[in-house]
Structure 1
């Protein structure tokens, strides 16, 4: 009976319980060497790679299998350049599997390959990758960066970490209790799954152009910061987002936290200045409170509100002018009058309907809501200053979204920068973002009137530096005094310009702001407007301007670009005046030029020269 009982027990264990006990045994013998999978690529709207991966293998040691420890430590020390104490500590750590993290980071891919040829038992290499940014600091404030473990820490890398990060694989090795390999069980490879690719709405070419222009402006005017946004006003697609100063994502540890965690178009809030006047103008036109062409307004240079004298930027005033000229001249008292006609409640309602005081929901990390006056703190004085863009705090992206609504027929659109999520194996689109219209804020008729009025601002008013006779450009300048802790800083301004093209049916909306430029001409019309005009030269299709530019005494004439292809640097240098020559390449012979020979050149007469 005892023999039968033992036999039954053996059968029960070896037959009925076999699978369960076998799995438990394998689990207890199983040792896993982690294998990192590649993060998904980040692409621009045309499929150009903005962020990719570089193979950088890691090393692991199983102390129980290590027979020639001293040889391994000596080889690792020589190749990594690390102190022997550091390497020895990593190798001898009490664990079934030691990840040689510091040593691996100090080795090259070739070093790891050569170490494997030594045949050291217990040494394993595993797949690991580090992020690579082919365009260095370009778009860094949007893209962000990853940590040593490959997880996103900022920007798109952080916000979309769950999309970009794949499922890691592993190499399963079976050992006995002492860590020795169990030859009866072969190793198993689990490949994991790569992360999804992310395609952005960003246009690489536009991003490069705008970032380069703003970088030059910062250097020329010794400015603290620069901001740029390009958006399709019809769809809300962000084509470029610039935040300067910038940093190298691959070396983010060397950058200031004030730079790496701030994407100025959404994290910086400030008084918008005169660009905000477009909102007051749109509301007044929508409510039929002004006749721009026929109604006149007299500006003595100031106006009194609630016992305070509010001045125009032009101290002596603009005198008698139509309300169209009020807009062209960016006359503060004239806009205070428009605000008075609208009334406090109605203007505040329009401001909120245009999206101010709330997130644009763009998805960009760290976006702020801005600050509007509370109902209790909003009196006649606050109402007057709000009418011309002072006293409230907004983000650049809020301004772009709001102004887009004044141009696209009256719809407030949601800005967005992620276009598609793509399967890395099949290239199929697994998720897609489509334009989202939040609400209508003004009528198409009002929108058309606003576009035409802003076209006249560029042709006849403060935005003339953005004018191009072969382009249909509209826009508005802004010059806002910087406020800190409730006090305005003496002599520090944020100068800006928001422009669009073509006026009839805008495809591009561009916002540029320069923070605290040095010099006497701290105005949006003289610093920011030319940058937008130059950008439109590069990206917008030719379309004759709706309005002829108002000639001024200091207008410089057009000149014809000379033929410089085939010339040397020495022969070209005498042309450095009146032309501004920008060299590309380290050669001595010119092989290409922009603009081409024979084309008209407009101030500042810039010619790009490409050498051999």
Structure 2
């Protein structure tokens, strides 16, 4: 049958429509294919390009094993090689119970657990559980299959003990290795050991464990972190994933050796540091303070800081422990934030470099040096101390009546403000501030400790700002900045950079690499410095720092300072910076007492502490006192201890300071607001000037027995220092113009030997109640020391003395 044209047209239309539909599906298919391909390509791009490093590391971790070996952190030594800080390890010990086994037939599971008990300090219950876990998880065969089907799976790891000392962990590890015992794991954690408690803790600093490595976060630990840390070493080897899980036999590991850490040799002297901290505690007790007292000792020629301390110190091994002066109840009542804020503000920072304060009249030494160097005045230049009015403010002498006409030398040791305003005006404001900038007071000293503050001085000073600065007010400096200036005066005009690190060593101080000293520019002429030092001597001999026990018989010079905080109820800060000896200085000694709670009103309080520090250090180095007849007469007279039963500890301490004695309050009972319940020696006792007297807020103290030292051959001051070190006091007999000749209570060692010879348990003389069987005496016992006359009998064997 012949098709009609309409049929042909319809077929053609259907064909075209089919092709159109086919084209649409094809295009859709192509689009789907392209989209899927794009997704695959994008995924491969993401895997191979963007995640290449991550995936490559994971692959390498499956094929290779990495062993890291970290060096032990270096020690921090004092300048004589004594370790102040060192590292040890504590261990976490754990086990994979099913792997705890040995091929040694003589060693049972019970033996292994017993050895763990011996070295890890496990109790019986822990031992029983450990043994049961080992036996349970090691079951194999049919019983093991039954337990597995019942849902019991072996434990992959169990912690056994933590904080295990290195010596115990290594002893156990060695025993396990010798007997072929596996399945027990030792994870080491490095810890810092601070050998001297809170001595020098803000200087030494703290560390923090980050990713298994100790990092210094403050003090020398932070400043010299790279030197102390070294660099870890790595070993890369192909992993055997089928048998031992160890290294594939005969493979070639790739290693990067450990870069050994170094020990830091510091400039600190442990003995000087102890002296400084003891004297700061004494000053703090008389000021009624548990914080806000700081000091330092620095060599003038090198800038080496040999001692630096503050109140309150903290135990770097336990920096959040109970602070000085707090009871457990008082500390426990504070919130966590309050505790943290107190610790940060008062303990953990190094106030000698982080805190600024008005230096007061100490700054007059700077104005003096500038004036002499610029030759605008000399020692005998006459000034008048009438009040000066600048921009509506009156500047007058601290005495109401003033001194009238006086020389520059007199104005310096009398600390007269108007004279130094006039001296500054002679220099001129622009030139004066050029000197202040040149001396570094607008910046930092560059000491090798973190967080050093800058001086706070006016950027665009007005005339009144300039006038106030000439005598140390309306501007603030750090203690280390003041010490740097006095070192400049002490060494002939060269500005040294303070430092606490002086060398690095891998072994000891005999083989070490010294750090070079920074080049010191000369600021003042040697002549100017010598003239300033003579006037510093006058301050201690006849000025505002005169009459201190430490200053007797020695060449000490310095300047006192008092600053008043108008924003804090007119509370005062007292300071003293000295040079010893003044003619050929070796050390700068600085002490600051901030806002005391007692009625201390003179900066002599800081001078008393600083001069005792200076005297003890000089005596330690073999420098002897040269007493005048007036001084000998003063030292030969004893002091009768008053009754403190109605006083608080801080008020009793202040009264002792005013009597030229040294109060000592135990640091674990440093409760200065509590009543003085007990005193040793007892009230009414006669003791020598400068002696230490112990104050207690609690009468329930146990009797403390101390040894008696041998005073023979020492001068008066050396006897006082030695007595305090042992815990006794002295009373001089005769004029102490030479070395001591005898004592009424023999040294403990000789009496103890005599007691053994007699085969008796205690002395048989009249004073037996104050002596124990070993020949010791009660803390605070008064020992008579003879200087110019020796009794006919009993000088070495008698038991007399005031108690």
TM-score class, shorter-chain normalisation, is 0.7 to 0.9
Unmatched tracts of structure 2, length 5 or more: 1-57, 103-109, 134-155, 324-342, 640-678, 695-701, 727-747, 749-775, 777-803
**1:24-63 aligned within 5 A:** 28-32=62-66, 34-59=68-93
- Aligned residue in 2 for 1:195: 261
**What's the counterpart of residue 419 of structure 2?**
334
Deviation at 1:57, TM superposition (A): 3.0
Q: 1:360 aligns with which of 426, 434, 445?
A: 445
Instruction: Give 2:475's aligned residue.
Output: 392
- 1:150 alignment partner, SS class: strand
Range moving further from structure 2, 266-275 or 488-497: 488-497
Match of 2:199 among 116, 121, 138: 138
In structure 2, the residue matched to 1:181 is 245
- Deviation of residue 43 (structure 1)? 0.8
Query: Are 2:94 and 2:161, in contact at CA under 8 Å, matched by a contact in 1?
Result: no
Q: Aligned match of 1:110 in 163, 168, 173?
A: 168
Does the 8 Å contact 1:174/1:185 carry over to 2? no
Q: CA RMSD in A?
A: 4.3
Query: CA, structure 1 residues 197+388, in 2 after alignment: closer, same or farther (shift >3 Å)?
Result: same
Structure 1 residue 226: Cα displacement? 1.3
Partner of 1:591: 708
Residue 212 (1) aligns with residue 328 (2): no
Contact between 1:560 and 1:601, CA under 8 Å: does it hold in 2? no
Give the 3-state SS of the residue equivalent to 2:477 in structure 1.
coil
Structure 2 residue 304 is the aligned partner of structure 1 residue 237 = yes
Deviation at 1:104, TM superposition (A): 3.2
Contact 1:233 1:408 in 2 (8 A): yes
1:458 to partner: Cα distance: 0.9
Q: Which of the residues 490, 503, 522 maps onto 1:420?
A: 503
In the alignment, the residues of structure 2 paired with residue 474 and residue 231 of structure 1 have an alpha-carbon distance, to the nearest angstrom, of 15
Deviation at 1:544, TM superposition (A): 6.9
How far residue 559 of structure 1 moved from its aligned partner, in angstroms, is 1.6
Structure 1 residue 111, shift from structure 2 partner: 5.9
How much does 1:37 deviate?
2.6
How far the C-alpha of 1:257 sits from its partner, in A, is: 2.3
Pairing partner for 1:520 from 593, 599, 607: 599
| Distance (Å, rounded) in 1 between the aligned partners of 2:76 and 2:363 | 34
| Equivalent pair of 1:221/1:517 in contact (CA under 8 Å) | yes
Aligned to 1:228, what secondary structure does the other structure show? strand
The C-alpha deviation readout for 1:181-204, integer Å capped at 9, x for no partner, is 358639999983541011011111
Cα pair distance change 1:515/1:64, threshold 3 Å: farther
- Counterpart in the other structure of 1:274: 361
Partner residue in 1 for 2:382:
296
- Deviations along 1:529-583, one digit per CA (max 9) or x if unpaired, are 11121112211254777x98999xxx98112899xxxxxxx99868843343468
Contact 2:91 2:164 in 1 (8 A): no
| 1:177-576 aligned within 5 A | 177=241, 180-182=244-246, 185=249, 192-223=258-289, 224-254=291-321, 256-293=343-380, 295-300=381-386, 302-375=387-460, 378-424=461-507, 428-430=511-513, 432-466=514-548, 468-482=551-565, 488-525=567-604, 527-540=605-618, 541-542=622-623, 557-559=634-636, 576=685
TM norm structure 1: 0.78
Normalising to structure 2: TM-score of the pair?
0.61
Distance in 2 of aligned mates of 1:253 and 1:469: 41
| Cα distance between partner residues in 1 of 2:402 and 2:63 | 88
Aligned equivalents of 2:611, 2:453: Cα separation in 1: 29
CA contact (8 A) 1:556 1:603 kept: no
- Cα distance in 2, alignment partners of residues 608 and 304 from structure 1: 51
Is this contact kept in 1: 2:198–2:313, CA < 8 A? yes
Corresponding residue for residue 783 of structure 2: none
Offset of residue 418 of structure 1: 0.8
What's the counterpart of residue 30 of structure 2? none
Larger Rg: 2
CA apart distance, 1:299: 2.3
Deviation at 1:135, TM superposition (A): 0.7
Deviations 1:223-280 (A, max 9, x none): 2311111111122111111122111111124472224541111100111111111010
Is the contact between residue 240 and residue 248 of structure 2 (CA under 8 Å) also seen in structure 1? no
Instruction: List alignment gaps of at least 5 residues for structure 1.
Output: 1-23, 89-97, 563-569
| Whole-angstrom CA distance in 2 between matches of 1:62 and 1:522 | 70
**Distance apart, 1:605 and its partner CA:** 9.8
**CA 1:116–1:607 in 2, change beyond 3 Å: closer, same or farther?**
closer
Aligned length in residues: 552
1:47 is paired with a residue whose SS is coil
Q: Is the 8 A contact 2:205 2:220 kept in 1?
A: yes
**Is contact 1:33–1:126 with CA below 8 Å preserved after alignment?**
no
Q: Is the partner of 1:439 in helix, strand or coil? A: coil
**Which of 1 and 2 has higher RCO (CA within 8 Å, sep 6+)?**
1
Q: CA deviation at 1:365?
A: 1.3
Relative to structure 1, is the Cα distance of residues 179 and 238 closer, same or farther in structure 2, using a 3 angstrom cutoff? Answer: farther
Q: Does the 8 A contact of 1:410 with 1:441 survive in 2?
A: yes
Q: 1:263 to 1:472 in 2, by over 3 A?
A: same
Decide whether the 8 Å contact of 1:66 with 1:120 is kept in 2. yes
CA deviation map 1:327-381 (0-9, x unaligned): 0111111111111111111111111122211111111111011111112xx1111
Counterpart position of 2:33: none
Q: 1:495-538 CA distances to partner (integer Å, 9 max, x unpaired)?
A: 1101111111101111111111122223221x111112111221
Which of residues 155, 158, 166 in structure 1 aligns to 2:219? 155
